[in-house]
Structure 1
Amino acid sequence: MLWQLLVRQPEIALFASLAIGFFIGSLKFGPIQLGGVCGTLIVALILGQSGARISPDLKNIAFALFIFALGFTGGPQFFANIGRGWRYGALSLVEVIFVVALVLGIAAALRLDAGTAAGLLAGGATESAVIGTASEAVARLNLPAAEIARLQANIVTAYSVSYLFGLVAIVLFVSQIAPLIVRVNLRDEAERVWRQLGGDGALAEGQAPAVSPLAARELKVTTAAGLAIGDLEKRFGHDISVQRVVRERSVVKAQPAVVLKAGDRIVIAGRRGALLDAIPLIGEEVFSNGGSDVFVEKVDVMLTNRAMHGLTLAQARARANPAEGRGVYVAAVTRLDSTIPALPGTQVQRGDVLTLVGAKADVARGAAKLGYIIRATQKTDFVFLGIGVLIGIAIGRLSAHVGGIDLSLGTGGGCLLAGLVFGWIRSRYPLIGSLPSAAAQILKDFGLCTFIAAVGLSAGADALRLIREFGIALPIAGIAITLGPAIASLLIGRLLLKLEVPMLLGAIAGQQCSTPAISALVGVTGNSTPVIGYTITYAISNVLLPLLGPLVVGLVSKLG
Structure 2
Amino acid sequence: MHISQAAKTAAMSQVAIAYALTYVFGTVGVLIFLKNIAPAILRVNLREATKKYIEENHISNGDQGVKISANIRVRAFKLNKGCEFIGNTLTDFDKNNQGLIIEEVVRDGKMLVATTTTLQENDTILVVGHIKHFAELADKDPKMSELDANNFHLNLKKATVLLTKAYSYGALEQILSNGVLIDTAEHDGQKITDYTQLTVGDHVTIIGPANYLTNAIKTIGYEKVTGIKTDVSFMSIDIFLGILLGAIVITIHKIPLTLGGDGSALFAGLYFGWLQQKHPTTGIIPPSTRWLLKSLGLNLFIAVVGLQAGSGFVTALKEMGWLVFVIGVLVSILPHFLTLLFSRFVLKMNIVDNIGSLCGSGTITAALNAVNAETDSSVFALSYTPTYALGNIFLTVMAPLVVAILA
Please tell me the TM-score bracket, short chain as reference: 0.5 to 0.7
Query: Aligned equivalents of 2:180 and 2:309: distance in 1?
Result: 59
| Gap runs ≥5 in structure 1 | 1-142, 180-185, 198-210, 308-315, 334-339, 492-503, 522-530
Q: Does 1:448 align with 2:308?
A: no
Q: Does 1:224 align with 2:62?
A: no
TM-score norm. by structure 1 comes to 0.49
Query: Aligned equivalents of 1:508 and 1:300: distance in 2?
Result: 36
Check 1:387–1:166 CA distance in 2 against 1; reply closer, same or farther (3 A cut).
Answer: closer
Q: Does 1:547 align with 2:389?
A: yes
Match of 2:15 in 1: 147
Check 1:148–1:398 CA distance in 2 against 1; reply closer, same or farther (3 A cut).
Answer: farther
Query: Aligned equivalents of 1:516 and 1:289: distance in 2?
Result: 47
TM-score norm. by structure 2 comes to 0.64
> Structure 2: which amino acid aligns with 1:253?
V
Q: Report how many residues are paired.
A: 347
Residue pair 2:24, 2:305 contacting (<8 A) in 1 also = yes
Match of 1:54 in 2: none
Q: Does 1:265 align with 2:129?
A: no
Q: Does 1:166 align with 2:34?
A: yes
How far residue 358 of structure 1 moved from its aligned partner, in angstroms, is 3.9
Query: Aligned equivalents of 1:480 and 1:509: distance in 2?
Result: 13
Greater helix content: 1
> Structure 2: which amino acid aligns with 1:547?
A
Structural RMSD (CA): 4.9
Check 1:418–1:169 CA distance in 2 against 1; reply closer, same or farther (3 A cut).
Answer: closer
Q: Does 1:276 align with 2:129?
A: no
Q: Which has the higher contact order (CA 8 A, sep 6+)?
A: 1
Identity of aligned residues (%): 19
> Structure 2: which amino acid aligns with 1:295?
L
Match of 1:496 in 2: none
Query: Aligned equivalents of 1:331 and 1:295: distance in 2?
Result: 21
Residue pair 1:400, 1:406 contacting (<8 A) in 2 also = yes
Query: Aligned equivalents of 1:350 and 1:144: distance in 2?
Result: 59
Match of 1:486 in 2: 344
Check 1:381–1:254 CA distance in 2 against 1; reply closer, same or farther (3 A cut).
Answer: same
Give matches, 1:295-310, under 5 Å. Answer: 295-297=154-156, 301=160, 304-305=162-163
Query: Aligned equivalents of 1:466 and 1:320: distance in 2?
Result: 70
Cα deviation code 1:151-180 (max 9, x no counterpart): 476344223333333332235536379x9x
Check 1:508–1:214 CA distance in 2 against 1; reply closer, same or farther (3 A cut).
Answer: farther
Check 1:557–1:354 CA distance in 2 against 1; reply closer, same or farther (3 A cut).
Answer: farther
How far residue 445 of structure 1 moved from its aligned partner, in angstroms, is 1.9
Residue pair 1:229, 1:260 contacting (<8 A) in 2 also = yes
Q: Does 1:215 align with 2:66?
A: no
Check 1:285–1:436 CA distance in 2 against 1; reply closer, same or farther (3 A cut).
Answer: same
Q: What SS does the aligned partner of 1:374 have? A: coil
Query: Aligned equivalents of 2:240 and 2:91: distance in 1?
Result: 55
Query: Aligned equivalents of 2:43 and 2:164: distance in 1?
Result: 33
- Of residues 164, 180, 193, the one that matches 1:327 is 180
> Structure 2: which amino acid aligns with 1:224?
F
Match of 2:326 in 1: 468
Match of 1:435 in 2: 285
Check 1:402–1:478 CA distance in 2 against 1; reply closer, same or farther (3 A cut).
Answer: same
Give matches, 1:91-106, under 5 Å. Answer: none
Query: Aligned equivalents of 1:489 and 1:433: distance in 2?
Result: 38
> Structure 2: which amino acid aligns with 1:327?
V
Residue pair 2:21, 2:324 contacting (<8 A) in 1 also = no
Residue pair 1:219, 1:283 contacting (<8 A) in 2 also = no
Match of 1:175 in 2: 44
Match of 1:245 in 2: 105
Match of 2:405 in 1: none
Residue pair 1:269, 1:275 contacting (<8 A) in 2 also = no
Check 1:319–1:481 CA distance in 2 against 1; reply closer, same or farther (3 A cut).
Answer: farther
Q: What SS does the aligned partner of 1:216 have? A: strand
Give matches, 1:281-360, under 5 Å. Answer: 281=140, 283-286=142-145, 292-297=151-156, 301=160, 304-305=162-163, 321-325=172-176, 326-330=179-183, 357-360=207-210
Residue pair 1:389, 1:415 contacting (<8 A) in 2 also = yes
Residue pair 1:396, 1:410 contacting (<8 A) in 2 also = yes
Cα deviation code 1:89-146 (max 9, x no counterpart): xxxxxxxxxxxxxxxxxxxxxxxxxxxxxxxxxxxxxxxxxxxxxxxxxxxxxx9576
Residue pair 2:162, 2:224 contacting (<8 A) in 1 also = no
Check 1:458–1:509 CA distance in 2 against 1; reply closer, same or farther (3 A cut).
Answer: closer
Q: What SS does the aligned partner of 2:228 have? A: coil
Match of 1:423 in 2: 273
Residue pair 2:22, 2:329 contacting (<8 A) in 1 also = no
Residue pair 1:332, 1:355 contacting (<8 A) in 2 also = yes
> Structure 2: which amino acid aligns with 1:401?
T
Query: Aligned equivalents of 2:87 and 2:41: distance in 1?
Result: 61
